[in-house]
Amino acid sequence: MKNEAAPIGPGVVLRVGELFLKGRNRFRFEEALACNVRRAVADRPDVEVVLEHGRIFALGACDTDSLASLASVFGVASLSPALFCEKGVPPITEAALALTVGKTGPARTFRIAARRSDKRFPLKSTELAREVGAAVQRATGLGVDLTAPDLTVGVEVGPRWAFVWAQELPGAGGLPVGTSGRALLLLSGGIDSPCAGHLMQKRGLKLAAVYFHAFPYTGDGARDKVVDLARVLARRQGPLRLFVVPFARVQEALRDNAPGDYLVVLYRRAMLRIACRLAKREGLPALVTGESLGQVASQTLANIAAIEDAASLPVLRPLIGFDKLETVGLARTIGTYDISIRPHMDCCSLFVPPHPITKGSAKQAAFAESRVDLAPLMDEAVAASEVSDL
């Protein structure tokens, strides 16, 4: 289907959300969104994605799988399966009848919402709506309600074609992935961190991820589920780089030489230091974690402050105000929950004292670290990190 000819047949109209706020930079966001839409239907060579006058069209896409893929693209506010046709009253009317006759379900009233972005079209929007609406009413017997109809049939006359739709589906919202920069996600095998990554992708971040692997205390099952979680996140953005950092020797050194009640805080501080080194090496200006205020002992306000003291990059915490039920609900929605609950321990579950500190301080944590020669162990962990692009 070439751009020079008016497409006749099915397709999808994709509408942007907050991109209209971007002013002079809007074109950059729209181009990024179009690129992400093309990736979402890359397995459909018969689908052509067109960006035109602030609209994105997926011409030839009409099946359920394509609609689901397109609805998952961040930056798409809503989308409609549509019929594309030539710019004339008869073909537009024919398309409207094809979408309504025998397909209105329980609807009792309707309206035609017409718009002509091509002002050369001979009929005004109200005139076009009246012409098409009269034909639909005759064919369906539906009543007309211009304020609160059961069914709205949209008609738009664009520069190169007209299109008609009778259904509007919600999109993923947010910003196109990649338009807000890049960051490194601390990805555990739990429920929270993949949800945090998902939310930052929704705000336009493209992610890399780091997993701290405490082999032999945690086995291949723990690592495998993190890889599977990273693959889920990669669906929204394309290739995702995953670092697997051997962390057992760092934990052993802390376990054997640091106060037990501070262990979880010290683990997290070491993780942030290593993550910052990897992020800077990759040119990533921020970290992302799955922390939620007060959810566990390490996530009290005091402990969050004591842990963040070890970071040399900003730490983004999109779940900070979520409760666990909200996070679980999100995990189910994005398809990570069943992976996260596989029964494999992660490194933060190791050597945890029965009564961890809840009001830690950066000063006390630094004093505890001064009794442990962590620098060579962290150097070794960074050097031994394994990298894969998923």
Whether 34 maps to a domain, the answer reads yes
* Tens-digit pLDDT profile for residues 297-354: 999 999 999 999 999 999 999 999 999 999 999 999 999 999 999 987 776 666 777 8
pLDDT of residue 27: 87
Residues 140 and 188 in one domain: no
- CA distance linking residue 332 with residue 367, whole number of Å: 41
pLDDT of residue 3: 42
Residues 213 and 143 in one domain: no
Least confident piece of the model among 6-10, 80-84, 268-272, 288-292 = 6-10
Whether 277 maps to a domain, the answer reads yes
Residues 165 and 201 in one domain: no
218, amino acid identity: T
Query: What is the distance between the terminal CA atoms of the chain, rounded to a whole angstrom?
Result: 32
pLDDT of residue 55: 84
pLDDT, average across residues 122-131 = 97
Q: How many CB atoms lie within 10 A of CB 352?
A: 16
Whether 4 maps to a domain, the answer reads no
> Is the confidence at residue 68, as pLDDT, over 90?
yes
Whether 326 maps to a domain, the answer reads yes
Residues 348 and 316 in one domain: yes
Average pLDDT across the chain, whole number: 94
Whether 296 maps to a domain, the answer reads yes
Residues 186 and 72 in one domain: no
Residue where a domain stops, chosen among 170, 193, 215 = 170
Residues 210 and 342 in one domain: yes
Residues 242 and 109 in one domain: no
* Tens-digit pLDDT profile for residues 207-225: 999 999 999 988 889 999 9
Higher-pLDDT residue of 2 and 200 is 200
pLDDT of residue 20: 64
How many structural domains compose the chain? Answer: 2
Whether 263 maps to a domain, the answer reads yes
Residues 293 and 225 in one domain: yes
Residue where a domain stops, chosen among 170, 203, 237 = 170
pLDDT of residue 4: 44
Could you tell me where the DSSP H helices lie in the chain? 26-40, 64-71, 89-100, 125-140, 192-202, 220-234, 248-257, 263-282, 301-308, 324-334, 337-340, 362-369, 374-383
pLDDT, average across residues 286-299 = 96
Do 12 and 79 touch, CB atoms closer than 8 A? yes
* CATH number of the domain encompassing residue 350: 3.40.50.620
Residue where a domain stops, chosen among 170, 195, 221 = 170
Name residues whose C-beta falls within 8 Å of residue 316's C-beta, 6 or more positions apart in sequence.
Answer: 183, 200, 286, 287, 288, 289
The pTM assigned to this predicted structure is: 0.93
Whether 66 maps to a domain, the answer reads yes
Residues 186 and 139 in one domain: no
pLDDT of residue 348: 66
Residues 98 and 233 in one domain: no
Do 298 and 308 touch, CB atoms closer than 8 A? no
Q: Which domain holds residue 107?
A: 9-170
> Is the confidence at residue 60, as pLDDT, over 50?
yes
Residues 116 and 229 in one domain: no
Residues 266 and 382 in one domain: yes
Within its chain, how far is the Cα of 339 from the centroid?
A: 18
Whether 291 maps to a domain, the answer reads yes
* CATH number of the domain encompassing residue 164: 3.30.2130.30
